[in-house]
Amino acid sequence: DQQVKQNSPSLSVQEGRISILNCDYTNSMFDYFLWYKKYPAEGPTFLISISSIKDKNEDGRFTVFLNKSAKHLSLHIVPSQPGDSAVYFCAARNRDDKIIFGKGTRLHILP
Amino acid sequence: DTGVSQDPRHKITKRGQNVTFRCDPISEHNRLYWYRQTLGQGPEFLTYFQNEAQLEKSRLLSDRFSAERPKGSFSTLEIQRTEQGDSAMYLCASSLDVEGEKLFFGSGTQLSVL
């Protein structure tokens, strides 16, 4: 059973425009939601998180929105830059501190 | 470099052999996680430690898999009698329990079972 779902395997966005990556979850007991970024041959790196009691968290070009009623979160990157090309993983933390990842979305930033 | 380090980076083995991977977490981190990642998938949780105590094991972790974290420092993951289906990237991550959502990953060990 996939508790964290990223339904878009890939996304292409023009440099300078907004990138929106989406994620759905099924478990109402998650207390934190996270986004990780991964480059080839490296481990994932933490990008941004949001507590389940909030609906928005912003850090520079990155903003995460949480819609608990829809069990949906999204990551907005604006403006998109070439270095943003990577695989982005949505993740969620259980109350027992286990972090569960989605399958990832590959983001291509086009020149 | 004070990040999470994993050794080896790559391991090629024959089916039926035993392999052991090592992970050195960030020194002040008390939590350590093992994940496995296959092509096109996200990291799958295997197990995690709070200091030296192993708190949870995934049902993915068959009896052939064992992990240890003696003295709450480095950790080892051993796979006995490897099978071709064990081929994957094995990722280690560490965190502070007060910021448990921020995992710091190593670069992983790529295992190929022939």
For chains A and B, CB pairs below 8 A equal 58
HSE-CB for A30 with a 13 A CA cutoff: 29
If pLDDT is split at 50, 70 and 90, which confidence band does B1 have? low
Around Cβ A92, how many Cβ atoms within 10 Å? 25
Inter-chain CB proximity B91 and A93 less than 8 Å: no
Closest CA of chain B from A91, distance in Å: 9
Amino acid at B108: G
Tell me the helices (H) and strands (E) count for chain B, helix number first. Answer: 0, 11
> What element of type H or E holds B7?
strand B5-7
Provide, rounded to the nearest whole percent, the portion of chain B with pLDDT above 90: 76
Around Cβ B88, how many Cβ atoms within 10 Å? 19
- Range B4-13 average pLDDT: 96
At residue A53, the pLDDT reads 94
At residue B101, the pLDDT reads 79
Q: For B94, which DSSP code?
A: E
pLDDT tens digit sequence for A20-75: 999 999 988 899 999 999 998 889 999 999 999 999 999 999 999 999 999 999 99
At residue A1, the pLDDT reads 65
Inter-chain CB proximity A98 and B44 less than 8 Å: no
DSSP notation for chain A:
--SEE---SEEEEETTS-EEEEEEE--TT--EEEEEEE-TTS--EEEEEEETT-SEEEETTEEEEEETTTTEEEEEESS--GGG-EEEEEEEE-TTS-EEE---EEEEEE-
If pLDDT is split at 50, 70 and 90, which confidence band does B57 have? confident
CA distance A93 to A24: 14
Q: Is residue B70 helix, strand or coil?
A: helix
- For B:2-41, CB contacts with A below 8 A are 4, 31, 33, 35, 40-41
CA distance B11 to A54: 43
Pairing status of strand B5-7 against strand A105-110 = unpaired
